[in-house]
Structure 1
Amino acid sequence: MDSVRNPGRASSPMLVAPIAALAALACALVVWPSLLVETSAADFILVSLILGGAAAWRTGQAVARGWGSFWHLVAYVILLAGAVRFCHFALFEDTLFSLQHFVMEFVLLMAVATLGFRFVRRRQMTAQYGWMFEADGRFAWRARAGDASAVPSD
Protein backbone atom coordinates (compact mmCIF):
# COMPACT_ATOMS: atom_id res chain seq x y z
CA MET A 1 0.00 0.00 0.00
CA ASP A 2 2.85 2.39 0.80
CA SER A 3 4.37 2.04 -2.69
CA VAL A 4 1.04 3.05 -4.26
CA ARG A 5 0.94 6.28 -2.24
CA ASN A 6 4.57 7.24 -2.90
CA PRO A 7 4.67 9.43 -6.04
CA GLY A 8 8.47 9.58 -6.04
CA ARG A 9 9.07 5.87 -6.50
CA ALA A 10 11.02 4.65 -9.51
CA SER A 11 8.04 2.57 -10.67
CA SER A 12 5.66 5.55 -10.62
CA PRO A 13 3.43 5.86 -13.70
CA MET A 14 4.70 9.44 -14.00
CA LEU A 15 8.16 8.02 -14.68
CA VAL A 16 7.39 4.73 -16.43
CA ALA A 17 4.83 6.16 -18.89
CA PRO A 18 7.12 8.78 -20.50
CA ILE A 19 9.94 6.28 -20.90
CA ALA A 20 7.54 3.77 -22.46
CA ALA A 21 6.12 6.50 -24.74
CA LEU A 22 9.59 7.49 -25.94
CA ALA A 23 10.45 3.85 -26.59
CA ALA A 24 7.19 3.34 -28.52
CA LEU A 25 7.82 6.48 -30.59
CA ALA A 26 11.36 5.32 -31.37
CA CYS A 27 10.00 1.96 -32.54
CA ALA A 28 7.30 3.70 -34.58
CA LEU A 29 9.96 5.88 -36.18
CA VAL A 30 11.76 2.77 -37.37
CA VAL A 31 8.74 0.64 -38.30
CA TRP A 32 6.25 3.25 -39.53
CA PRO A 33 8.08 6.57 -40.09
CA SER A 34 5.14 8.32 -41.75
CA LEU A 35 3.37 8.24 -38.39
CA LEU A 36 5.82 10.85 -37.09
CA VAL A 37 7.64 12.30 -40.11
CA GLU A 38 5.54 14.21 -42.63
CA THR A 39 7.98 15.83 -45.08
CA SER A 40 11.52 14.81 -44.20
CA ALA A 41 13.46 13.25 -41.36
CA ALA A 42 15.70 16.32 -41.14
CA ASP A 43 12.84 18.71 -40.34
CA PHE A 44 11.46 16.24 -37.78
CA ILE A 45 14.85 15.99 -36.09
CA LEU A 46 15.44 19.75 -36.14
CA VAL A 47 12.01 21.04 -35.16
CA SER A 48 10.46 18.23 -33.13
CA LEU A 49 13.41 16.59 -31.45
CA ILE A 50 15.96 19.36 -31.01
CA LEU A 51 13.91 22.56 -30.73
CA GLY A 52 10.66 21.07 -29.42
CA GLY A 53 12.41 18.58 -27.14
CA ALA A 54 14.60 21.27 -25.59
CA ALA A 55 11.61 23.55 -25.09
CA ALA A 56 9.62 20.69 -23.54
CA TRP A 57 12.46 19.79 -21.17
CA ARG A 58 12.78 23.42 -20.04
CA THR A 59 8.99 23.74 -19.71
CA GLY A 60 8.89 20.71 -17.44
CA GLN A 61 11.71 22.16 -15.35
CA ALA A 62 10.04 25.57 -15.13
CA VAL A 63 6.71 24.15 -13.96
CA ALA A 64 8.47 22.02 -11.34
CA ARG A 65 10.60 24.95 -10.12
CA GLY A 66 7.44 26.95 -9.51
CA TRP A 67 5.97 23.96 -7.61
CA GLY A 68 3.22 23.86 -10.26
CA SER A 69 0.99 20.85 -10.68
CA PHE A 70 1.34 18.27 -13.41
CA TRP A 71 -1.90 19.58 -14.99
CA HIS A 72 -0.23 22.94 -15.59
CA LEU A 73 2.45 21.06 -17.48
CA VAL A 74 -0.17 19.33 -19.65
CA ALA A 75 -1.71 22.69 -20.61
CA TYR A 76 1.68 24.18 -21.50
CA VAL A 77 2.67 21.16 -23.59
CA ILE A 78 -0.58 21.38 -25.57
CA LEU A 79 0.39 24.95 -26.47
CA LEU A 80 3.95 23.89 -27.21
CA ALA A 81 2.78 21.08 -29.50
CA GLY A 82 0.70 23.65 -31.41
CA ALA A 83 3.76 25.88 -31.74
CA VAL A 84 5.88 22.99 -33.01
CA ARG A 85 3.19 22.08 -35.56
CA PHE A 86 3.16 25.72 -36.69
CA CYS A 87 6.95 25.64 -37.14
CA HIS A 88 6.61 22.54 -39.30
CA PHE A 89 3.95 24.32 -41.34
CA ALA A 90 5.76 27.65 -41.67
CA LEU A 91 9.25 26.33 -42.33
CA PHE A 92 8.71 23.08 -44.21
CA GLU A 93 5.16 23.37 -45.62
CA ASP A 94 3.79 20.48 -43.57
CA THR A 95 0.07 20.24 -42.86
CA LEU A 96 -0.90 22.65 -40.08
CA PHE A 97 -4.07 20.94 -38.89
CA SER A 98 -3.04 17.29 -38.88
CA LEU A 99 -4.55 15.57 -35.83
CA GLN A 100 -2.32 12.53 -36.23
CA HIS A 101 0.89 14.56 -36.24
CA PHE A 102 -0.35 16.88 -33.48
CA VAL A 103 -1.06 13.91 -31.21
CA MET A 104 2.35 12.40 -31.97
CA GLU A 105 4.04 15.75 -31.26
CA PHE A 106 2.09 16.04 -28.02
CA VAL A 107 3.06 12.53 -26.87
CA LEU A 108 6.72 13.15 -27.69
CA LEU A 109 6.84 16.57 -26.04
CA MET A 110 4.80 15.44 -23.03
CA ALA A 111 7.20 12.55 -22.40
CA VAL A 112 10.23 14.85 -22.53
CA ALA A 113 8.52 17.53 -20.41
CA THR A 114 7.51 14.97 -17.80
CA LEU A 115 11.08 13.76 -17.50
CA GLY A 116 12.28 17.36 -17.08
CA PHE A 117 9.56 17.88 -14.46
CA ARG A 118 10.61 14.75 -12.54
CA PHE A 119 14.31 15.66 -12.76
CA VAL A 120 13.73 18.97 -10.97
CA ARG A 121 11.06 17.61 -8.60
CA ARG A 122 13.47 14.92 -7.37
CA ARG A 123 16.05 17.58 -6.62
CA GLN A 124 13.43 19.71 -4.86
CA MET A 125 12.12 16.86 -2.72
CA THR A 126 15.57 15.75 -1.62
CA ALA A 127 16.78 19.32 -0.93
CA GLN A 128 13.64 20.78 0.66
CA TYR A 129 12.76 17.63 2.59
CA GLY A 130 16.23 16.13 2.93
CA TRP A 131 15.45 14.89 6.41
CA MET A 132 12.60 12.84 4.95
CA PHE A 133 13.64 11.79 1.42
CA GLU A 134 16.77 10.71 -0.43
CA ALA A 135 17.49 10.43 -4.13
CA ASP A 136 16.74 7.14 -5.86
CA GLY A 137 18.29 7.69 -9.28
CA ARG A 138 17.99 10.76 -11.50
CA PHE A 139 14.19 10.94 -11.57
CA ALA A 140 12.97 9.31 -8.35
CA TRP A 141 13.18 9.71 -4.60
CA ARG A 142 12.40 7.47 -1.65
CA ALA A 143 11.82 7.71 2.06
CA ARG A 144 14.99 7.66 4.12
CA ALA A 145 15.79 4.27 5.59
CA GLY A 146 14.42 3.89 9.08
CA ASP A 147 12.14 6.94 8.81
CA ALA A 148 8.63 5.66 9.53
CA SER A 149 7.16 9.17 9.37
CA ALA A 150 8.20 9.70 5.73
CA VAL A 151 5.41 7.65 4.17
CA PRO A 152 1.93 8.22 5.58
CA SER A 153 0.15 5.16 6.90
CA ASP A 154 -3.47 4.45 7.71
Structure 2
Amino acid sequence: MNLLWDNSLSAFLVLTLFLGGGAAWMSGRAIAISWRPMKQIIIYMLLLTAAVRFLNFALYEGQLLSLYYYIVSFVILLVISWLGFRYTRTNQMVRQYHWLYTKVSPLSWKERNS
Protein backbone atom coordinates (compact mmCIF):
# COMPACT_ATOMS: atom_id res chain seq x y z
CA MET A 1 0.00 0.00 0.00
CA ASN A 2 1.38 3.37 -1.02
CA LEU A 3 0.65 6.48 1.01
CA LEU A 4 -0.07 8.88 -1.89
CA TRP A 5 -1.62 6.83 -4.69
CA ASP A 6 -3.77 3.75 -4.82
CA ASN A 7 -3.02 2.28 -8.25
CA SER A 8 -0.01 3.79 -10.05
CA LEU A 9 2.40 6.69 -9.89
CA SER A 10 1.53 7.74 -13.44
CA ALA A 11 -2.18 7.99 -12.57
CA PHE A 12 -1.33 10.07 -9.52
CA LEU A 13 0.95 12.39 -11.49
CA VAL A 14 -1.41 12.85 -14.44
CA LEU A 15 -4.73 13.14 -12.62
CA THR A 16 -3.98 14.54 -9.18
CA LEU A 17 -0.94 16.72 -9.79
CA PHE A 18 -1.20 17.73 -13.45
CA LEU A 19 -4.94 17.96 -14.21
CA GLY A 20 -6.27 18.37 -10.67
CA GLY A 21 -3.40 20.61 -9.60
CA GLY A 22 -3.84 22.84 -12.63
CA ALA A 23 -7.56 23.14 -11.97
CA ALA A 24 -6.87 23.80 -8.28
CA TRP A 25 -4.38 26.57 -9.11
CA MET A 26 -6.85 28.18 -11.50
CA SER A 27 -9.66 27.88 -8.93
CA GLY A 28 -7.57 29.62 -6.29
CA ARG A 29 -6.63 32.26 -8.83
CA ALA A 30 -10.27 32.81 -9.83
CA ILE A 31 -11.36 33.18 -6.21
CA ALA A 32 -8.62 35.77 -5.61
CA ILE A 33 -9.36 37.70 -8.82
CA SER A 34 -13.03 38.01 -7.89
CA TRP A 35 -12.10 39.18 -4.34
CA ARG A 36 -13.93 36.30 -2.69
CA PRO A 37 -12.85 35.04 0.74
CA MET A 38 -10.23 32.32 0.99
CA LYS A 39 -12.63 29.95 2.78
CA GLN A 40 -14.44 29.33 -0.52
CA ILE A 41 -11.41 27.32 -1.61
CA ILE A 42 -12.52 24.50 0.68
CA ILE A 43 -15.90 24.09 -1.02
CA TYR A 44 -14.40 24.13 -4.51
CA MET A 45 -11.65 21.68 -3.59
CA LEU A 46 -14.15 19.22 -2.09
CA LEU A 47 -15.93 19.14 -5.45
CA LEU A 48 -12.73 19.03 -7.49
CA THR A 49 -11.37 16.19 -5.36
CA ALA A 50 -14.53 14.18 -6.02
CA ALA A 51 -14.04 14.71 -9.76
CA VAL A 52 -10.36 13.72 -9.60
CA ARG A 53 -11.16 10.60 -7.58
CA PHE A 54 -13.89 9.65 -10.07
CA LEU A 55 -11.49 10.05 -13.00
CA ASN A 56 -8.96 7.92 -11.14
CA PHE A 57 -11.64 5.26 -10.71
CA ALA A 58 -12.97 5.44 -14.28
CA LEU A 59 -9.66 5.69 -16.16
CA TYR A 60 -7.15 3.85 -13.97
CA GLU A 61 -9.37 1.47 -11.96
CA GLY A 62 -8.59 3.16 -8.66
CA GLN A 63 -10.69 2.96 -5.52
CA LEU A 64 -13.70 5.25 -5.77
CA LEU A 65 -14.93 5.24 -2.18
CA SER A 66 -11.64 5.29 -0.31
CA LEU A 67 -11.81 7.99 2.36
CA TYR A 68 -8.04 7.88 2.89
CA TYR A 69 -7.16 8.61 -0.75
CA TYR A 70 -9.94 11.22 -0.96
CA ILE A 71 -8.38 13.07 2.00
CA VAL A 72 -4.87 12.76 0.53
CA SER A 73 -6.05 14.16 -2.82
CA PHE A 74 -8.05 16.87 -1.05
CA VAL A 75 -5.06 18.06 0.97
CA ILE A 76 -2.81 18.16 -2.10
CA LEU A 77 -5.38 20.09 -4.15
CA LEU A 78 -6.12 22.41 -1.24
CA VAL A 79 -2.45 23.34 -0.89
CA ILE A 80 -2.09 23.98 -4.63
CA SER A 81 -5.27 26.07 -4.64
CA TRP A 82 -4.09 28.05 -1.61
CA LEU A 83 -0.78 28.74 -3.37
CA GLY A 84 -2.63 30.00 -6.46
CA PHE A 85 -4.84 32.19 -4.27
CA ARG A 86 -1.96 33.73 -2.29
CA TYR A 87 0.19 34.30 -5.36
CA THR A 88 -2.64 36.08 -7.16
CA ARG A 89 -3.78 38.04 -4.11
CA THR A 90 -0.22 39.23 -3.44
CA ASN A 91 0.11 40.51 -6.98
CA GLN A 92 -3.30 42.19 -6.72
CA MET A 93 -2.48 43.98 -3.50
CA VAL A 94 0.91 45.19 -4.70
CA ARG A 95 -0.37 46.25 -8.14
CA GLN A 96 -3.65 47.89 -7.13
CA TYR A 97 -2.47 49.45 -3.87
CA HIS A 98 1.15 50.18 -4.73
CA TRP A 99 1.21 53.24 -2.46
CA LEU A 100 0.21 51.10 0.57
CA TYR A 101 1.91 47.73 0.09
CA THR A 102 5.16 46.26 -1.11
CA LYS A 103 5.86 42.65 -2.06
CA VAL A 104 7.87 40.63 0.45
CA SER A 105 7.77 37.27 -1.34
CA PRO A 106 5.67 35.68 -4.08
CA LEU A 107 3.07 34.81 -1.42
CA SER A 108 3.06 37.82 0.91
CA TRP A 109 3.10 41.59 1.14
CA LYS A 110 3.62 44.19 3.86
CA GLU A 111 2.74 47.79 4.48
CA ARG A 112 4.99 50.28 2.80
CA ASN A 113 6.99 52.43 5.21
CA SER A 114 6.19 56.12 4.89
TM-score with structure 1 length normalisation? 0.72
Q: How far is 1:144 from its partner?
A: 0.5
Indicate the residue corresponding to 1:88 in structure 2: 56
- What runs of 5+ residues in structure 2 fail to find an aligned partner? none
Indicate the residue corresponding to 1:44 in structure 2: 12
Quick one: percent identity of the two aligned structures?
Answer: 39
Q: Name the CA distance, whole Å, in 1 between partners of 2:45 and 2:61.
A: 22
Q: How far is 1:131 from its partner?
A: 1.0
CA-to-aligned-CA distance 1:78-119 (integer Å, 9 cap, x gap): 100111000100101111111000000000000000000001
Indicate the residue corresponding to 2:100 in structure 1: 132
| Larger Rg computed on CA atoms | 1
Indicate the residue corresponding to 1:5 in structure 2: none
Match of 2:77 among 102, 109, 130: 109
Q: Name the CA distance, whole Å, in 2 between partners of 1:74 and 1:63.
A: 11
Q: Name the CA distance, whole Å, in 1 between partners of 2:13 and 2:41.
A: 23
- What runs of 5+ residues in structure 1 fail to find an aligned partner? 1-32, 147-154
CA-to-aligned-CA distance 1:43-97 (integer Å, 9 cap, x gap): 1111011111111111100000000111111100110011100010010111111
After superposition, residues 1-154 of structure 1 pair within 5 angstroms as 34-146=2-114
Query: SS in structure 2 opposite 1:136?
Result: strand
Two-structure CA RMSD over aligned residues (Å): 1.0
Query: SS in structure 1 opposite 2:2?
Result: helix
TM-score with structure 2 length normalisation? 0.96
Q: How far is 1:37 from its partner?
A: 1.1
Q: Deviating runs (4+, > 3 A) in structure 1?
A: none
Q: How far is 1:36 from its partner?
A: 1.1
- Number of equivalent positions: 114
